[in-house]
Structure 1
Amino acid sequence: MTTPLISLTWTDHVTDRQGHLVIDRLVRGVASGGLRMREGCTLEEVAGLARGMTMKEALHYNAEDPSVRYIPLGGAKGGIDCDPQDPRAYGILVRFLRAVRPYVETMWTTGEDLGLSQDIVDRAAAEAGLASPVQAVYPLLDDEAAARRRLADAFAVEVDGIGLDELVGGCGVAESVLVALDRAEMAYEGTRVSVQGLGTMGGATARFLARAGLKIVAVADVKGTVANPAGLDVDALLAARDSYGTVDRAALRHDDVELAGDAWLSVDAEVLVPAAVSYAVDTVNQAQITARWIVEAANMPVLPEAEKLLARRGTTVLPDVVVNSGTNAWWWWTLFGDIGADADEAFTYTRRSMRALIGQMLARAEADGTTPRAAAHAIVADRLPAITERFGWYR
């Protein structure tokens, strides 16, 4: 990867908290990437996430099918160093968006990420004087008014009381797990899964995997790990969580047990799904893992050195740049008009796209004798020159 096109750090004059924006690459003058808020967020972290967004966009580039309307964008990311539950957090968010308003207006399309929900981002963006956090993409649309209505309608769709926008990413993560099981000729029924984080991504992933017949044996939140080797009642846990993904322990059944916060790593399970924070699996705690697969629903949850150690012990990591790319792609599939504001259409399109992409990555890894992450990087390396040749570096 090259040096980012734009990298900046902002300091809030009220609280001295810092925010970061990295635009890694522009395609057609626009870059895509969410805005996160967490205590300890750094410029280095945001830069890594922005590079990941460049890869996610390139992985969904399809030059062969002329019917596809969504042409992937460049990659970017924003991050604010603040606990989202801090009473000052919303004011910091608004001031950050005011400070970077010229970038949002012209080149950076953003949305929810770790610590921030879409409704909060939308409200803060309006208060900062922005028409929309994705307004930079509007000039690329054939019919802006129709596209905006379609996206708004899609955000209004609910399935079992959960917003479609909260479900599509988990649908993509779940499909990634199912492709890995299919290639290994393992049955869905009885395959055990442990999930770290029951927020938007983790909750939706657990929901889809449970409906596919897999057994969710552990979930972790800020209070600790809830486990049951016989399988947890996922729907009950989802119904009992707050807006931060924390489960009300009053909803637990008599045979559910509460364990330490890091116990999700070591429970007996074939699949681990880190779906919360970055850097969750390091060189020390990786030794607790016995799972066959780690499927990265969160961004950068497994440190590179930890991944090498895991690979030596036979644990395969399915990388975030592919696995969790469905949320970002769904926005653009909907806005550009490849799909409508319909849940069944969204899930079908997401499953088909992710199944093809995961299958291509795993086939490349097998052919090259390398890891899925290295295979994903190789696919991106093949596609970026084609994107550059077609669109240039900045336009």
Structure 2
Amino acid sequence: MTTSIAVGPDAGSVSGVFGRSRRLSDRPHEQVVFHEDAETGLRAIVAIHSTALGPALGGTRFYPYADESTALEDVLRLSWGMTYKAAVSGVNLGGGKAVVIGDPATGKNDELLAAYGRFVDSLGGRYITAADVGTRAEDLDVVGRHTPYAVGRTVAAGGSGDSSPLTALGVFQAMRAGARTVWGETTLAGRTVGVEGLGKVGYELVSLLVADGAEVIVSDVNPQALARVVDEFPVRVTDSVVASSAEVYAPCALGSTLTPSTAAVLDAKLVCGAANNQLAVPEVEKLLGERGITWMPDYVANAGGLIQVAGEVDGSDAAVVRERVESIFDRTAEIFEVSRALGVTPGAAANRIAEQRIDTA
């Protein structure tokens, strides 16, 4: 069963999905689709924020949300961020996201993924899915058997494979540009960088930082992920990266770790990581700035994965895609320049650049 709710300028200010969409910005979602498949137990939500620049592309997050309200909140925020990520990255795609409610360790199977693929296909190409938390390239292979609107599949299935290395590369390039702004040099050598979250992207980021000469502090609630990094890299473990002496804080787990409380105790001078929706509330960026802490908007830093799968959509080869990811350094530097010139936060500068591109479309 699929229920579609179009959320546009005339949606009014009622509660629920309409009110939540409008609360994010003055650019409400185009469409939010709820889907349930009784046979497989699939419960999914696709949020299409904007198709101004092209079809809405975004990953599928498979997560054991506490309730449907929490899942809705997440998919609305994530899809909004994808619109801005695509726009600021220069790719011809809109913003969308999907969530599947459930535990991927126990509830994910080929039958459910097939049902999800049919759901995505029913949207007629307005939404293109990829991997996210709780889903992998191999899962997209299954989804892709039931819809052409799936990217990020394995190389064997005709996709570009795991996007974690390029996502981490983009974060690293953004961090280098941030280091130039804060310390006047484009290297993390000799700097203490705290990486919070050692999943696929966090692991790759640690590798890049160690190779660059950084002193890396790490934390993760998953003991297996932590052990893997400790075994392979010369890192220091902490229970809390936020409370550590790191000069750079790299949140790479789930979002909302930057709260008013975090902003009050963080010692880092630069925040740049792979996690989505890092700010618990928008006002946190201002609080960080008042303490001399520079925050690079997450949707700018973590755009490498989007750029990779966008290359699948437009047929670009791997070398071109890598060049686009490396250019995140230049885009980050541009954002810092606009921020200084206009006297606004980097977040406001990034939004301005993204919105200009969307509006011209």
TM-score, normalised via structure 2 length: 0.80
Q: Pairwise mapping of residues 235-384 of structure 1 onto structure 2 (< 5 A)?
A: 245=225, 247-248=227-228, 251=231, 259-260=238-239, 263-304=240-281, 305-333=283-311, 335-338=313-316, 340-342=317-319, 346-351=321-326, 353-384=327-358
Instruction: Name the amino acid aligned to 1:251.
Output: D
Residue 76 of structure 2: which of 30, 40, 47 is its match? 47
> Sequence identity of aligned pairs in percent?
24
Which residues of structure 1 form unaligned runs of 5+?
62-70, 136-147, 156-162, 224-240, 388-395
Instruction: Name the amino acid aligned to 2:285.
Output: E
- Distance in 1 (alpha carbons) for counterparts of 2:157 and 2:360: 29
TM-score, normalised via structure 1 length: 0.74
- Residue 123 (structure 1) shift: 1.9
Q: 2:167–2:201: 8 Å Cα contact kept in structure 1? A: yes
| Alignment pair present for 1:152 and 2:126 | no
- Distance in 1 (alpha carbons) for counterparts of 2:175 and 2:220: 19
Q: Give deviations 1:268-319, integer Å, cap 9, x for gaps.
A: 1111111110222323344331111111311102212433322222212111
- Distance in 2 (alpha carbons) for counterparts of 1:258 and 1:211: 18
- Distance in 2 (alpha carbons) for counterparts of 1:112 and 1:281: 24
For 2:202, the equivalent position in structure 1 comes to: 202
- Distance in 2 (alpha carbons) for counterparts of 1:192 and 1:60: 28
- Distance in 1 (alpha carbons) for counterparts of 2:298 and 2:43: 26
- Distance in 1 (alpha carbons) for counterparts of 2:235 and 2:94: 45
What SS class does the counterpart of residue 220 from structure 2 fall into? strand
Residue 47 of structure 2: which of 8, 22, 47 is its match? 22
Residue 2 of structure 1: which of 27, 45, 49 is its match? 27
What SS class does the counterpart of residue 33 from structure 1 fall into? strand
Q: 2:215–2:235: 8 Å Cα contact kept in structure 1? A: no
Q: 1:221–1:247: 8 Å Cα contact kept in structure 2? A: no
Q: 2:238–2:244: 8 Å Cα contact kept in structure 1? A: no
Per chain length, whose mean CA-contact separation is higher, i.e. which structure has more relative contact order (CA < 8 Å, sep 6+)?
1
What SS class does the counterpart of residue 350 from structure 2 fall into? helix
What SS class does the counterpart of residue 202 from structure 1 fall into? helix
Which residues of structure 2 form unaligned runs of 5+?
1-25
Give the direction of change, closer, same or farther, for the CA distance of 1:296–1:250 in structure 2 (3 Å limit): closer
| Alignment pair present for 1:166 and 2:164 | yes
- Distance in 2 (alpha carbons) for counterparts of 1:355 and 1:36: 27
- Distance in 2 (alpha carbons) for counterparts of 1:335 and 1:153: 10
Give the direction of change, closer, same or farther, for the CA distance of 1:310–1:218 in structure 2 (3 Å limit): same
For 1:59, the equivalent position in structure 2 comes to: 88
Q: Give deviations 1:311-370, integer Å, cap 9, x for gaps.
A: 2222121111211112111222354244x235xx6444421x211210111101111111
Q: Alpha carbon RMSD of aligned pairs, Å?
A: 2.9
Q: 1:101–1:130: 8 Å Cα contact kept in structure 2? A: yes
Once superposed, which parts of structure 1, at least 4 consecutive aligned residues long, lie more than 4 Å away?
14-17, 148-151, 255-259
Count of matched residue positions in the alignment of Structure 1 and Structure 2: 327
